[in-house]
Structure 1
């Protein structure tokens, strides 16, 4: 692959062709050297035609041989073989002859004489910039190769571990089975003292039976082992195919680079112009595919070994010995690393929201304010603080420039619209119908929790209540103080934290409870966040930690605790683009920012 695209395309053409008179060629008068060019007719003409042309078209502008366009293009139109390709439509990105121009491009506003349009392409910013982009794309593909090699090592290790564990258990099962039959044979031998002659025949039959059944059992266990191996290979096939796809990208990029180099070396500007347009389109596809490969996900799995009583009949009757179970992405342990602190004169950070990759919003409960930050790399910059007349509680994103905020004391929901510079453009009020606290927006609806009545309500965007649920199947209150909630990435589940009951509940939009999480190490749960894989992160204010849960609320691990500088965490937000976790704490002037990666 070329390492410096811009510097490699510098050869000039040594081929010089003479332009002929198009008027003579058109009327069958034979070949004549062109000595002039009519700008109005867009035709090259000879000495004779020039003389008649000046008489007939006195107002036409004629360029003599030294001033006329010198980059002659001799390719004929595929649709009109008798016509030279003389024009290029920038609106349609197509070449055209005179007839194509008059018929197919009569409504186009940007069609130009091709040699004139391409006259300065060798020194154009477009060609120079594209060369730089090709260099960067080449570097990205090399980096992708390193990333794939690293992931391949993970795949290889998974295969080796699963295969080794499976083989080890197979040997153990077979050895156990054989040992039990040997025990039977030994017991039988001890009883042969008085009836040795009679029992010899029976012993021989038993040995034969044990041998036959042993072979059958070995075949059954061996088949189960083979199925596991096939499952391991099949699970990793999609990822391994990415390696082949990456090699294809490398080959395609090399071929495109060679084509463009050769075209430029020939000095044919029109060909170079067309090739450049084609290569740019193909490179866009290569870049998209490269990005997909870089963000490819490795399917995790584990070998599940069934617990079988070590008895002959149990082993013979068993039909399954192993299973290859996929590990849901949300159940994989995350690693966190402290990145930086956002410092501000906070009093009580009640909620956080990532509005975009570079914009973080924080609600300060006691200061009755919305604080807006821009985040650039690892540095933070305070933008502004919007004051309110009452204390805000929950916040959710409606669009890139609109959020919804609950005001518990006022029993009100406010829709706040921002300009590009994050100045507030408009505030619309929606009745909260009670002491509304937690809020989330999904599928053009708001999901709102009420911490005094212990209920969950679903609103339309206009503020109409669509659904409401708060009782369990026995008619008892399901929640006491459901202060916060969030929505799963696929918009199918609602997660609610109840700080009084120390629980997190997962329920559907129909109100069906799917799971409830309760743990001795989670006390006073507060705001929740989810990542793109469905992992749920919940603040434990009184337990001074952040729990990571799977999508079905199975405990994965305690992700963050006091050792990370977390004291009484109340608010949390996750940024998918930067893989960052933002944690706000009660009565703290800091928001701690962590990088999150898969373990």
Structure 2
């Protein structure tokens, strides 16, 4: 009996401890929420102050422009008026002189000929009528065209936009960053795509379009780079996708081909297949096929491992795409395709049906140049104009997005994920790959 009471007392204490821990966690969450609220208010104040400062500067610039234009008109008008007044005064003097000469000629004619025939040639010569200068043209100010210029300028004036972003993602953390520039690169890097191989050797594969190279950063346990490899190509490589822990497929648009590469102790070409279009983005699918997209001839196609055409997903939805440049498979086995003209990511089924658009018009991007998807249904979109990498949910229809690279990158161009879900973001300004957890 005593032991049962003791056992119940122990269970009660355990339940009490569990409840206490839950209450403590709840209190901590509440404290965190209060801190975020304070940070939100501060952010609001900072953004509001920034907007006011921006518009104040814009008003100052507009005022200066107004003063400059008015001063220009006044100065130009003053010069033109002075020139006209000088010409008019000179002409008046000349007219008075010619009138006196004319009257003297008439008097001489009356005295000598008594009203005989007039010697017109003599009059013209004496009055110097052939020396008359043409009257100057009065300048004309096209007020209407100036109004149109001003209206057009104001219409095109986009100072800033305001966007509320829900804090629906964990805070991202910069783990490390490594240089992607090699000592013998002839040009500045332009990384188009990234794939991460996670076998015994950890390898980050990148396509450097500007230097016409496929680059690899290798290391063990994620420590990069312990080794660097490169494979030079005749034309710039674009898309890259993982096939296995030691093999990738790379698109070369200008040559209309897909190159299969192995990365073991070095990097070498295993085989090359020809394609019918200049494909840029590429994604390997679970059934052993590829999904590829083409900017030159806007389309999304399915190819087999030999590069043979199997299906055109945009055949019945041609209006969907204007410039598809990057593609990846999603967690639900759909496809995410970036369109650099529409500036969004389109989620489509394997039959080509448009499922949703990310982000929607309510939360639009300045650009959409690359995309990657993780196993949890998150879609990562690279906006290199706004220096963002936006994370959205594949399934949720809401336009709410989170910027997982805010303050960490400057000009992102490509994004990739490893098996652990860590992000690898190429930055064109710093010429680095940033490894980020979220």
TM-score, structure 2 as length reference: 0.57
> What is the deviation of 1:562?
5.0
Are 1:591 and 2:428 matched, yes or no? no
- 2 CA distance for matches of 1:355 and 1:455? 28
Structure 1: distance between partners of 2:255 and 2:194: 20
- Given candidates 392, 397, 410, the residue that maps to 1:549 is 392
User: What does the per-residue CA deviation read over 1:137-178, in whole Å, with 9 as the maximum and x for residues that have no partner?
Assistant: xxxxxxxxxxxx89x8499859x99xxxxxxxxxxxxxxxxx
SS at 2:172 equivalent? strand
The secondary structure found in structure 2 opposite 1:497 is strand
- 1:339 lines up with 2:175 in the alignment: yes
Q: Work out which of the residue numbers 198, 202, 208 in structure 2 matches 1:356.
A: 198
Regions of 4+ moved over 6 Å: none
Kept in 2: contact 1:454–1:477 (CA 8 A): no
In 2, distance between residues paired with 1:154 and 1:360?
A: 44
Check 1:432–1:380 CA distance in 2 against 1; reply closer, same or farther (3 A cut): same
Contact 2:275 2:308 in 1 (8 A): no
Number of the residue aligned with 1:49: none
Distance of 1:364 and 1:355 partners within structure 2: 17
Q: Show CA shifts across 1:526-565 (max 9, x none).
A: 111111211111101112101111022644433235522x
- Which of 386, 395, 416 aligns to 1:573? It is 416
How far is the alpha carbon of 1:589 from its aligned partner? Answer: 1.6
Deviation, 1:334, is 3.0
Decide whether aligned partners of structure 1 residues 377 and 465 sit closer, same or farther in structure 2, where only a CA change above 3 A counts: closer
Out of 250, 253, 257, which is 1:412 matched to? 257
User: Structure 1 residues 157, 466: CA separation in 2 closer, same or farther (over 3 Å shift)?
Assistant: farther
- Residues 557 and 386 of structure 1, relative CA distance in 2, 3 Å threshold: same
1:175 corresponding residue in structure 2: none
Task: Verify: 1:514 aligned to 2:355, yes or no.
Answer: yes
Residue-by-residue CA offset, 1:293-322 (whole Å, 9 max, x unaligned): xxxxxxxxxxxxxxxxxxxxxxxxxxxxxx
1:389 pairs with one of 216, 234, 241: 234
1:486-501 correspondence to structure 2 within 5 Å: 486-490=328-332, 492-501=333-342
CA contact (8 A) 1:497 1:504 kept: yes
2:381 — aligned with what? 538
Query: Structure 1 CA distance, aligned partners of 2:194 and 2:334?
Result: 21
Gaps of 5+ in 1: 1-148, 162-330
Asked if the contact 2:327/2:337 (under 8 Å) is kept, the reply is yes
Q: Is the 8 A contact 1:340 1:594 kept in 2?
A: yes
- 1:440 counterpart = 2:283: yes
Distance 1:452 1:154, change over 3 A: farther
In the TM superposition, residue 353 of structure 1 has moved relative to its aligned partner by: 0.7
Aligned Cα root-mean-square deviation (Å): 2.8
2:234 is aligned with 1:398:
no
2: CA distance between counterparts of 1:563 and 1:154?
Answer: 34
Q: Which residue in 2 is equivalent to 1:251?
A: none
Q: Which position in structure 1 is the counterpart of 2:314?
A: 470
Instruction: For 2:237 and 2:406, locate their aligned partners in 1 and report how far apart those are by CA, in whole Å.
Output: 27
**Partner of residue 461 from structure 1, selected from 305, 319, 324:** 305
TM-score after normalising by structure 1: 0.42
Matched pairs, number: 270
Q: Secondary structure at the match of 1:573?
A: strand
How many angstroms apart in 2 are the aligned matches of 1:153 and 1:388?
Answer: 59
Q: Secondary structure at the match of 1:477?
A: helix
d(CA) in 1 for partners of 2:306, 2:257: 13
Map of 1:279-358 to 2, 5 A cutoff? 332-345=168-181, 347-356=189-198, 358=202
2:399 and 2:294 mapped to 1: Cα distance?
Answer: 26
User: In structure 2, what is the Cα distance between the partners aligned to 1:339 and 1:154?
Assistant: 32
CA distance in 2, matches of 1:370, 1:341: 19
Whole-Å Cα distance in 2 between the matches of residues 352 and 469 of structure 1? 24
